[in-house]
């Protein structure tokens, strides 16, 4: 944020850095971590939970929209950014910091087969429904959604990584990918800082508070309670709850802003969500250590 204010870098710095992460850092991390995973029935939860939370969050938002009489654009923005978490740009570095390298693979599964697919499929549906204005009509075909998925670099890397699970990889493979994958955290943190906006209009306070509460407190709490009731314990389930508590997804927020769905509300939720996560995530981590 300081570098942005100093005007040292060009205005499109965040866009360039985001592209670097999508095309270089994140694919390298996927290819580095996924081939070393041990697959079990527990791993399925990393794929199922994001979709369950998406449905629950959407229902809660639609209910709140009727109760508080939110504008159509406000509901559209919240439906896009609340169910989808920042499980990649922020989630992966946070998981690595709190749970170590062994947990990164689970975070990648949650992100790629959960959050990313949801962005491509569910996000396209929301945009198609809420972006229709007098002089604008957005129509997204199933073919376009499919193309978005299969051409997304980290997803291509994930498919490759699945096949590499059955191959004995040389040490040179890991030594080559490791320094490239390590660029993720510093590049992401600078890119995020360039995109933060703390401005919030008074009439958006209600959806702002409710949206962030559902995303960062209510949704992860529901999953945590379910795991506790089912007696499910271990690092896989801790990572799932941790990823579920991430703030709104930056990519989803960018789409909402481009579609003119409450841009200022969207930008504020992205910014404050990230800032609050530096408080809520450590608290959640220490709480989970006691019960899962």
Quote the pLDDT of residue 136: 46
| Kind plus residue range of the DSSP H or E element containing 75 | helix 72-81
Residue 35 CB neighbours (<10 A): 21
Residue environment code for 221-255, b if the CB has 16+ CB neighbours within 10 A, otherwise e: ebbbeebeeeeeeebbbbbbbbbbbbbbbbbbbbb
pTM: 0.77
Determine contact, residues 110/50, Cβ cutoff 8 Å.
yes
Determine contact, residues 292/239, Cβ cutoff 8 Å.
no
Quote the pLDDT of residue 213: 97
Secondary structure letter of residue 202 according to DSSP: G
Quote the pLDDT of residue 137: 44
Q: State how far the Cα of 127 lies from the Cα of 259, in Å rounded to an integer.
A: 7
Using DSSP's 3-state secondary structure scheme, residue 133 falls into strand
Phi, psi of 262 (to 5 degrees): 45, 65
Measured CA angle at 269 (ends 79, 201), to 5 deg: 105
Cα→Cα distances 148→22, 50, 145, Å: 13, 19, 5
The predicted-structure confidence for 119-140, as pLDDT tens digits, reads as follows: 878 887 887 778 655 444 445 5
Quote the pLDDT of residue 177: 94
* 134 burial via Cβ count (<10 Å: 0-12, 13-18, 19+): exposed
Determine contact, residues 67/198, Cβ cutoff 8 Å.
no
Using DSSP's 3-state secondary structure scheme, residue 233 falls into coil
Q: Which residues contact 270 (CB under 8 A, 6 or more apart)?
A: 81, 195, 196, 197, 247, 248, 250, 253
Q: Which residues contact 92 (CB under 8 A, 6 or more apart)?
A: 26, 29, 104, 107, 108, 111, 184
Phi, psi of 37 (to 5 degrees): -75, 150
Quote the pLDDT of residue 132: 57
* 53 burial via Cβ count (<10 Å: 0-12, 13-18, 19+): buried
pLDDT tens track, the chain, 292 positions: 888 888 888 888 888 887 888 889 888 988 888 787 766 667 788 989 999 999 999 999 999 999 999 999 999 999 999 999 999 889 999 999 999 988 998 998 898 888 878 887 888 788 777 865 544 444 556 677 677 777 778 778 888 988 998 889 999 999 999 999 888 778 877 877 787 767 777 778 999 999 999 999 999 999 999 999 999 889 999 999 999 999 998 878 877 877 788 888 988 898 899 999 999 999 999 999 888 6
Residues forming a β-bridge with 85? 248
Secondary structure letter of residue 152 according to DSSP: -
Determine contact, residues 184/21, Cβ cutoff 8 Å.
yes
Cα→Cα distances 16→35, 152, 216, Å: 28, 16, 28
């Amino acid at each position: 944020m300081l570098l942005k204010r100093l005007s040292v870098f060009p205005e499109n710095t965040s866009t360039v850095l985001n592209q670097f992460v999508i095309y270089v850092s994140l694919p390298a991390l996927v290819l580095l971590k996924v081939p070393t995973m041990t697959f079990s029935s527990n791993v399925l939860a990393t794929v199922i939970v994001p979709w369950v939370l998406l449905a629950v969050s959407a229902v809660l938002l639609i209910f709140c929209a009727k109760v508080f009489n939110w504008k159509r654009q406000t509901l559209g923005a919240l439906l896009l950014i609340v169910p989808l978490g920042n499980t990649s740009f922020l989630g992966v570095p946070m998981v690595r910091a709190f749970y170590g390298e062994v947990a990164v693979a689970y975070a990648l599964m949650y992100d790629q087969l959960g959050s990313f697919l949801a962005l491509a499929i569910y996000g396209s549906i929301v945009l198609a429904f809420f972006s229709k204005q007098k002089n604008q009509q957005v129509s997204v075909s199933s073919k376009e959604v499919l193309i978005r998925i299969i051409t997304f670099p980290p997803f291509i890397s994930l498919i490759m990584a699945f096949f590499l699970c059955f191959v004995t990889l040389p040490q040179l493979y890991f030594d080559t990918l490791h320094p490239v994958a390590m660029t993720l955290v510093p590049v992401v943190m600078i890119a995020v800082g360039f995109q933060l906006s703390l401005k919030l209009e008074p009439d958006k306070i209600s959806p702002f508070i409710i949206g962030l509460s559902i995303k960062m407190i209510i949704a992860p709490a529901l999953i945590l309670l379910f795991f506790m009731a089912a007696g499910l314990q271990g690092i896989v389930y801790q990572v799932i709850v941790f990823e579920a508590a991430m703030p709104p997804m930056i990519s989803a927020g960018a789409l909402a802003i481009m579609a003119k769905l409450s841009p200022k509300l969207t930008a504020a939720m992205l910014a404050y969500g990230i800032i609050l996560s530096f408080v809520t995530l450590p608290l959640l981590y220490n709480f989970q250590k006691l019960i899962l």
